[in-house]
Chains A and B, each alone.
Chain A
Amino acid sequence: MKKIEAIIQPFKLEDVREALKNIGVDGMTIIEVRGHGRQKGHKEVYRGHEYQVDLLPKAKIEIFCRAERTGEIVSVIAAAARTGKIGDGKIFVLPVEEAVRIRNDDRGVDAL
């Protein structure tokens, strides 16, 4: 089992969800996050007071899946979230030790 964490531009979230639905991924967790990588922040001015805003709003998608589906899902997310500009985000794949469905105590891939 793998965990896929994708940090993407918030305005691309709907495109990515649509693309994932089309390949049969129907479970995910979406989190509104703030952060930055190489993308520079922006300047905000309030009554002449300037603020450099480095932490930018991003959407984070978390998906748990069977290891063999990882490649396809990552490709679909990357294609749907891409604008080609700095700030598009990153995707990480992590190993997962165990999964439990709380309702009936299913374990492992059955719980996904």
Chain B
Amino acid sequence: MKYLPSLLLSTAATAAADELPEAVKAASAAAAAAQLSADNAWMLASCALVLLMTGPGLALFYGGLVRRKNVLGTMMHSFILMALATVLWAAVGYSLAFGEGNAVIGGFQYLFLRGVGMAPNADYAATLPHLTFMAFQMMFAIITPALISGAYAERIKFSGMVVYTALWLLLVYFPMAHMVWGKGGLFNAFLGGRIPCLDFAGGTVVHITSGVSALIAALYLRPRAGYLEEPMRPHSLVLSFAGACLLWFGWFGFNAGSALSAGPLAASAFVATHFGAAGGVAGWLAAEWLRTGKPSVLGGISGCVAGLVAITPASGFVLPMPAMLIGVLAGVCCYAMVAVVKMRLGYDDSLDAFGVHGVGGTLGALLTGVFATNAVNSALKDSAGNPAPLGLVDGNPMQIVNQGLGTLTAIVLAAAGSFICLKIADMICGLRAAPEHETDGLDLSMHGEEGYSFEA
């Protein structure tokens, strides 16, 4: 990942080393404390913003897209992860992702958050309490598996979903997060990775892993009963609309928060994020308007998510105009994927988790290799200590290859890992809801409730 070398803090460090008057030392310490407080304030807010993306953001977005008999079950798929992923993260996840291990997986040093306290971990974020960094990353571990739920919506057993997702976090997410963001990870451009892959806020780790896993899950579970034969219209685009707007809002924490500081890089990522979203809306709507003659609200909000997905890996490396271009391209490509390609292939990715996150994430990861520039992010240095060229626009075409390798690894790991997790979960408790349960709806059959009651 991603941090501006902290000017104040390095001044403080130098001051401590040399013999300086007490007053200077005191002033340096005060400045360092002030910077920590400033960064921490933004990062705690960002943590909350990213959690908001899952609940209610994603829960509303997905909940509105299903039929009314499945609204609660679908919202629960997101909500349960706010607890499940948190428990796993605290027990082993943080350690496996960010502990020092090998190039593929972290060690056990932070098991049960041992040693993760208020003092900063200088490897990851020198101006944040280690706890803040841990909490921020935890929110990513919550939303990533929740994104997959779009693929198996309306037909998965709740028990099977819980087992599959827990296994998936262990087998796919924690290793991938370690490889890209963990110290010594294979693709970590900033902390000793062999293949420097640029992923500011989770194109590979979050969107490609979840998107590809979604496709595997959709294929494994087979289509919903009556798919393409009976109508399966979204039951409330009003809910989806509110959810998508909350996602857009929360994404500022996701991307600008990935600067891990409240400085200029956060501002740059914030702007890139917003431009990506706007570009996505424009791209999707334009393509849809030309093809069907009507710009739909669902198209608009889907385009915003597509743009946000694609800008995620690039957000801390690209200038505002390329960010908008990435968004537009994502809007057009994702529309083509869900409206044209999916119809021809016939798989039932109920809410298009693959079409939006898999396709948008891959596009964003590759375009990061094109548009990343050290004019935005100068954290990577060459051997002489100058800012290293980042992407193609900096004259480093090799970066596209590196991005491709990171992308390919994420795809292979997610596909294989997801299949294994689905298989195991299926053997333990079964994955597909019984036909009569599917007909009744997951709300009633899995949870014993209904989202909308006639009498109440």
Q: A residues bordering B, Cβ < 8 Å?
A: 44-49, 51, 53
Q: Which residues from chain B sit less than 8 Å from chain A, CB to CB?
A: 231-234, 292, 294, 296, 298-299, 302, 335, 338-340, 342-343, 352
B contact face: mostly helix, strand, loop, or mixed: helix
Contact B233 A51 (CB under 8 A): yes
Chain A residues with CB under 8 A of B342? 48
Partner of A49, one of B294, B302, B343: B343
Chain A min CB distance to B330 (Å)? 15
A47 contacts B233, CB within 8 Å? no
B232: chain A residues within 8 A (beta carbon): 49
CA distance A3 to B292 in the complex (A): 45
Are B231 and A47 in contact (CB-based, < 8 A)? Answer: no
Could you list some 16 contacts between A and B, CB below 8 A? A46-B233, A46-B234, A46-B296, A47-B302, A47-B335, A47-B352, A48-B292, A48-B338, A48-B339, A48-B343, A49-B232, A49-B339, A49-B343, A51-B231, A51-B233, A53-B231
Q: Within the assembled complex, what's the spacing in Å between the Cα atoms of A51 and B352?
A: 17
Interface pair A47/B294, CB less than 8 Å apart = no
- B294 and A45 contacting across the interface, CB-CB below 8 Å: yes
A45 close to B338 (CB less than 8 A): no
A100 CB, nearest partner CB in chain B, Å: 24
Task: Determine the chain A residues whose CB is within 8 A of the CB of B233 once the complex forms.
Answer: 44, 46, 51
Bound: A48/B338 CA distance, A: 7
* B residues less than 8 Å from A47 (CB atoms): 298-299, 302, 335, 338-339, 352
In the complex, chain B residues whose CB is within 8 Å of the CB of A48: 292, 335, 338-340, 342-343
Min Cβ gap A34→B in Å is: 13
Cα distance A53–B335 in the bound complex, in angstroms: 23
Chain A nearest Cβ from B348, distance in angstroms: 11
B-side contacts of A53, CB under 8 Å: 231
**In the complex, A14 Cα to B343 Cα: how many Å?**
43
Check if B343 sits within 8 Å of A45, measured CB to CB.
no
Least CB distance, A50 to chain B, in whole angstroms: 9
Q: Residues of A contacting B294 with CB < 8 Å?
A: 45
Q: Complex Cα distance A51/B234, Å?
A: 11
Q: Which A residues are CB-close (under 8 A) to B298?
A: 46-47
Q: How far is the CA of A48 from the CA of B299 in the complex (A)?
A: 9
